[in-house]
Structure formats: structure tokens, C-alpha cells
């Protein structure tokens, strides 16, 4: 689906990551890497470090920390927030919606629309699409909260996916101002089994066997309650779909590739990002990829993580044309082209404040 919104400006982006920095070298023994495989991971996937939250910290805590920083340091009043959209795969509870609990924690008015969206890697784009929809229906300000704490679905000893993942919680403020944005969204459920937590829903409920971690065919140690990824299928999906998506958005918005300052892509891993960058035919500096190397794959918060982690000076002081693209679990993918200018974007916050 393609949509043009005439209203909706990104006014602020704040990201909090877990306070514990974990170096890939320190996890060599834990995941059973030898020197050769570790060197290969560092070279191809550019694995260096990741930040994870301490025990007991939920995604909502990271997002609330980001939101409190926003309210304390930016000119936006809590009573002027009309909606809170929480995009996550690690909610506080199965029921009720975590966004409604966050509405109370953040002291937002009871007139606030608040709901959860169960999406991961494409969640930044889908969340902002919904925010723009509300804005173009008359809302003043929508707060999109995004992120995950990955210990709740990643196997502790799973060397296939766990070393890639980092914990983060972002908030993005969208306000009712004139600004054109071009969105394109897709989904293909035929590939749902390639990125999945097999047990825990109504289709395959929890039992005495679902939490037993065993060695799997791909070499990972995990249970059916942990996330499984078919790496080859996800790579092929990303390389096939994302460059075409971006080309479509450029054509849809009648924008030349050379006029885009940054292509901000979901930070799946450095190898995927490099291949997409080459297919697009743009220089590496236009496709930032350092975030996944330093902070890990932050799921729906990975694009906001790029902004706060590596581009905060530029976005706060310049007018930029950007294309964002998210892709992954579902399978789902989507992107948008928009203009950002002098937005509030502090450096990444590390850990939840005790204040």
C-alpha cells in the first residue's frame, strides 16, 4: 500500500539502551566460538558489542525513560499528547496492553489513545505510518514508543541469533505540521516460519516441553519458546525486497537518489546493510551501519538508534531528506521518504534513570 501524508513532522527522537555493554570477545566461550569463527563474525557481520538491560528491566521501562527525558528537556506538554503507540514484541503482560499502563506511568491525559502493536524489524515504519494517520485525522501530537528487551525471547545460549541482539526503547514525537511524507508498506505471511517464536500463542501453547533448550540443526541451543531465524531465507528476503522498496519510494516521491541525505535502514546486521547499499548504488556514508556494530540489532528501535547514536548533531542542526526502511518478522517490510529539520535528538541514553 502506498500513501502520501501532507501533515506530520518528526519533532523529537530519544533512545535508551540497556546499561550493560557486552563485547563479542567476552562471549566466545559462552557461545562455543573458536578463533576462526569469531574472526569471521567480526569481519562479515561486524559484530563488536551490544547493550543489554539489567535483569527486571522491561522494554516499557526503557521507553518510559526516553519519554521522561523528552518531557523534561523538550517543549512538549504531557496534556498535548493525543496518542501513544507502543511497538514491541516484549510487552509487560500478555494482557492488558502495555501502552495503556505507560499512559498512566507517563501521566498522559485519559483522552490519550493507547495501544500495542506486535511488530519487530518493520515496526518503526509501521508505527510512524499509524502516527501520521492519526495526525492527518486531526490529532495534535502522537508519541510512538518502540523497542524490545531481547532476553524475553532469545535463547541464552543460542549462538545463531542472541549475539546479534541489543536492548533499546525509543520514543518518536510526531506533530501536526505541514510536511509531505511518502509511505509504502508490504506483508507476506507465506514466510512467517522463517523468523518465529514457535511456542507461547494459541496455535502452540506452553507445556512442560516447550521451555527445554536443546541443540538444533543449525547449531543453536534454544527452546520452542525462543526466537528462531532462518538466516539464509531472511537474507534473501532482505536483499530481494528492500532495494526494490527504496527504488519504489524514490519514484513515488519523484525524488532523485542523489538528493537523499541518508538511507536509514533497520540494523539487521552489517552484511545485509552492505549488500543493500551496493544494490542501491550509493556510497557507504549514505547508509549508516555502525549502530548494529556497537549497540546490536535493536528491532523496531534500530532506526531511531541510528539517529540518536550517530546522527544526532546533524539532525538537530540541519534540514535533511531521508528514506527509512524496516524489514523482517512477519514477513513484513515498509519504508517512507520524509524531510526532517532541527529535531530534538540527544545522544543515546544508557540505562534507566533512578530519578
Q: E strands of the chain, at which residues?
A: 2-17, 20-23, 49-52, 83-87, 113-117, 141-148, 168-187, 195-196, 214-215, 221-222, 228-229, 262-265, 319-328, 332-341, 349-350
Round to whole Å and give the CA distance between 284 and 275: 10
The string over 3-39, giving b where at least 16 C-beta atoms fall within 10 Å of a residue's C-beta and e elsewhere, is: eebebbbbbbbbbbbbeeebebeebbeebebeeeebe
Enumerate the active-site residues: 121, 266, 297
Q: DSSP secondary-structure letter at 96?
A: S
C-alpha cell at 164: 546479534
Q: Which residues contact residue 291 at a Cβ distance below 8 angstroms, ignoring those fewer than 6 apart?
A: 267, 298, 302, 305, 306, 309, 310
Amino acid at each position: 500500500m502506498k500513501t502520501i501524508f501532507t501533515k506530520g513532522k518528526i519533532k523529537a527522537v530519544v533512545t535508551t539502551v540497556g546499561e550493560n555493554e557486552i563485547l563479542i570477545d567476552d562471549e566466545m566461550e559462552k557461545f562455543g566460538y573458536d578463533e576462526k569463527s569469531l574472526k569471521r563474525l567480526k569481519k562479515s557481520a561486524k559484530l563488536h558489542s551490544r547493550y543489554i538491560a539489567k535483569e527486571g528491566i522491561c522494554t516499557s521501562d526503557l521507553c518510559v525513560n526516553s519519554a521522561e527525558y523528552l518531557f523534561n528537556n523538550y517543549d512538549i506538554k504531557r496534556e498535548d499528547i493525543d496518542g501513544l503507540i507502543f511497538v514491541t514484541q516484549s510487552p509487560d503482560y500478555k494482557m492488558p496492553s502495555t501502552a495503556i499502563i505507560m499512559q498512566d506511568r507517563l501521566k498522559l491525559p485519559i483522552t490519550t489513545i493507547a495501544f500495542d502493536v506486535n511488530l519487530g524489524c518493520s515496526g518503526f515504519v509501521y508505527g510512524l505510518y499509524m502516527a501520521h494517520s492519526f495526525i492527518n485525522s486531526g490529532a495534535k501530537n502522537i508519541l510512538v514508543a518502540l523497542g524490545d528487551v531481547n532476553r524475553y525471547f532469545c535463547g541464552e545460549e543460542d549462538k545463531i541469533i542472541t549475539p546479534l541482539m541489543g536492548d533499546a526503547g525509543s520514543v518518536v514525537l510526531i506533530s501536526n505540521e505541514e510536511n509531505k511524507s511518502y509511505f509504502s508498506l508490504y506483508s507476506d505471511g507465506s514466510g512467517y516460519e522463517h523468523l518465529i517464536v514457535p511456542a507461547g500463542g494459541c496455535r502452540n501453547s506452553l507445556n512442560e516441553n516447550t521451555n527445554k533448550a536443546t541443540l538444533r540443526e543449525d547449531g543453536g541451543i534454544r527452546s520452542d519458546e525462543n526466537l528462531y531465524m532462518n538466516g539464509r531465507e531472511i537474507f534473501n528476503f532482505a536483499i530481494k525486497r528492500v532495494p526494490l522498496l527504496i527504488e519504489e519510494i524514490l519514484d513515488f516521491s519523484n525524488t532523485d537518489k542523489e538528493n537523499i541525505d541518508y538511507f536509514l535502514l533497520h540494523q539487521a546486521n552489517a552484511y545485509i546493510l552492505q549488500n543493500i547499499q551496493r544494490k542501491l548504488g550509493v556510497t557507504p556514508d549514505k547508509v549508516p551501519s555502525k549502530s548494529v556494530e556497537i549497540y546490536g540489532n535493536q528491532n523496531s528501535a534500530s532506526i531511531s538508534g541510528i539517529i540518536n547514536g550517530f546522527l544526532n548533531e546533524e539532525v538537530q542542526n540541519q534540514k535533511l531528506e531521508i528514506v527509512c526502511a524496516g524489514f523482517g518478522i512477519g514477513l513484513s517490510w515498509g519504508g517512507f521518504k520524509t524531510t526532517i529539520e532541527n529535531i530534538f535528538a540527544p545522544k543515546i541514553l544508557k540505562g534507566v534513570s533512578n530519578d
